[in-house]
Amino acid sequence: MLSRIGYLFFIGLLLTACSQSEQGPEPQTAACLLEEADAVLDNDSIRLGETLLRKAIRLSEETEDWHTHYIAYQRLAEALSQGNPEEALRLMKKSLAIYEQHPDDERNHVILLDYAGTYASQVAFVKEGSYDEALDFIHQAYDIAHEKQMDDLMCQTLTSLANIAWAKEDYRQAIDYARQAEAIATEELRPGTQQVLARSYLSLGMLDSAETVYRQIEPGDDVHMAYIVQSSLARIALRRMGATQVEDDIDNAFEQVEEFYYKALEQKDDYYQETLRQEMENQRLEYRSRMYARTILIIIIASIFVILSMGLVVRYRMRAGRQEKRRLQEEAEHQKALLHQANEVVTFLQNHILERTEVMKKLSQGGDSLITLTPHEWSEIERTLNAIDGNRFANLREQYPTMTEDDIRLCILTRLGVSNRTIGNIYCITISAVQHRKLKLKKDVFGESNPDITLEQILNN
């Protein structure tokens, strides 16, 4: 009986091994690469996402998968738009050219034109140039959407036109476009349209109208939109009061969650390290499993007993690996939920403190104009950051006594998340000069030469 079972098991292993050897890995398609890139970008892995998108572009062109080809260009432009709007515009024009050669869905045509107009307006805003190209793209998109009665895309293109009008400081034109968009907006698009409308009211000094619209916005789960609404309402209230200084009225509340905040940061770091370790372990298990299958095929010829023993070992290890993986996944999900709750509380309190300071108000409303901060304002924002960050900058001054006051101030602006463009307005230098100063500070003061580690990460650590 035992030999019969062993013989059957032997035949099964033989068939399995042959099947694994003959099948091999399935070829990767451009569409699969695009889906993988979207998942990676959703997790803020920009560099890996860019690599996958470029592979998808090459593969889709080789296989003449034109739909994936122009979509991959669109996704790549979107990924690069924040740091390099000129390159994003170039890529979008390439995407449009591919679509026009191989059209498939007019909705996608409208979306591509709207994206191109948005990036063209970003380039015009940065270079203080003409918005004619951006308006041409958006008007083409609107005409198609209007002709085909695509109400959601009409709303989207009207909102884009309102944004361009606002950037040109034609606030009343922006209000007109935003009102048209609001009239046909879906529930999903309405908050973005209302945000442009309220911002235009605020730029005209129409505080009552701006407040009314902001209070109508329902951000839902969009934490960023909720922050914009609350910070804007706070600015409106401060502008009405004519306040010159805001007391730090929630310091006590923040101290109560400070200890929990740091524990949450530790859990977050542990979670990502454990996730990385588990991914490497899974890769080793997968490789080991393939090697076992090939080894079994060879050993079968020599001895059925070796095959049986190896099969039992593989089965045991795979079952143990699955159980361990399941346990780690459950633990990671629990830690992720706790971390998410902690981050929401901490982020809300930090932003609430910072948004109520006069310095942040000045920085957020600077635009392209020169921004000047007095020594008192620098001292005020440093005291505020020390209060909410556990004396971070006091410790920084103690640990690095060679740092100049300009170095400390650059670290303060970096911690506040101030854009390189706004920092350039403060120091009257270009964005590339700001980036060079950050790189020099990171290397000369903190001794960090790894290009993948940013100044923000160094300050957070």
Poorest-confidence range of 4-18, 64-78, 247-261? 247-261
Q: How far is CA 151 from the centre of its chain?
A: 28
283 burial via Cβ count (<10 Å: 0-12, 13-18, 19+): exposed
Three-state SS for 5-56 is HHHHHHHHHHHHHHHHHHHCCCCCCHHHHHHHHHHHHHCCCHHHHHHHHHHH
How high is the pLDDT of residue 365?
63
Is the domain 30-189 a CATH 3.40.50.300 member?
no
Cα distance between residue 204 and residue 344, in whole Å: 33
Q: Given a cut of 80, is residue 12 above it in pLDDT? A: no
Asked if 124 and 101 count as a contact pair (C-beta separation under 8 A), the reply is no
- pLDDT exceeds 50 at position 208: yes
Cα separation, 279 vs 7, in Å, equals: 37
Please give the backbone phi and psi of residue 418, each rounded to the nearest 5 degrees, phi first. -70, 135
Whether pLDDT at 276 is above 70: no
Higher pLDDT, 298 or 165: 165
Asked whether the beta carbons of 134 and 124 are under 8 A apart, the reply is: yes
Q: Is the pLDDT of residue 85 over 80?
A: yes
Query: What is the pTM assigned to this prediction?
Result: 0.50
Q: pLDDT tens digits, residue range 394-408?
A: 888 888 888 888 888
d(C-alpha 7, C-alpha 1), whole Å: 10
Provide the token pair at 134.
């951006």
Instruction: Evaluate whether 228 touches 195 at the Cβ level (below 8 Å).
Output: yes
pLDDT band at 356 (very low <50, low <70, confident <90, very high): low
* pLDDT over 90 at 90, yes or no: yes
Condensed to tens digits (0 to 9), the pLDDT of residues 393-450 reads 888 888 888 888 888 888 888 888 888 888 888 888 888 888 888 888 888 888 888 8
pLDDT of residue 142: 93
Per-residue pLDDT, 22:
42
Predicted local confidence at residue 357, as pLDDT? 65
Residue 349 scores a pLDDT above 70: no
C-alpha to C-alpha distance for 169 and 424, rounded to whole angstroms: 21
Average pLDDT over residues 312-325: 85
Q: What is the mean pLDDT of residues 215-238?
A: 83
Residue 366: predicted pLDDT: 55
343 vs 93: which has the higher pLDDT? 93
Average pLDDT, the chain: 79
pLDDT category of residue 303 using cuts at 50, 70 and 90: confident
Q: Per-residue pLDDT averaged across 53-76, rounded?
A: 91
Q: Where are the domains of the chain?
A: 30-189, 251-355, 364-460
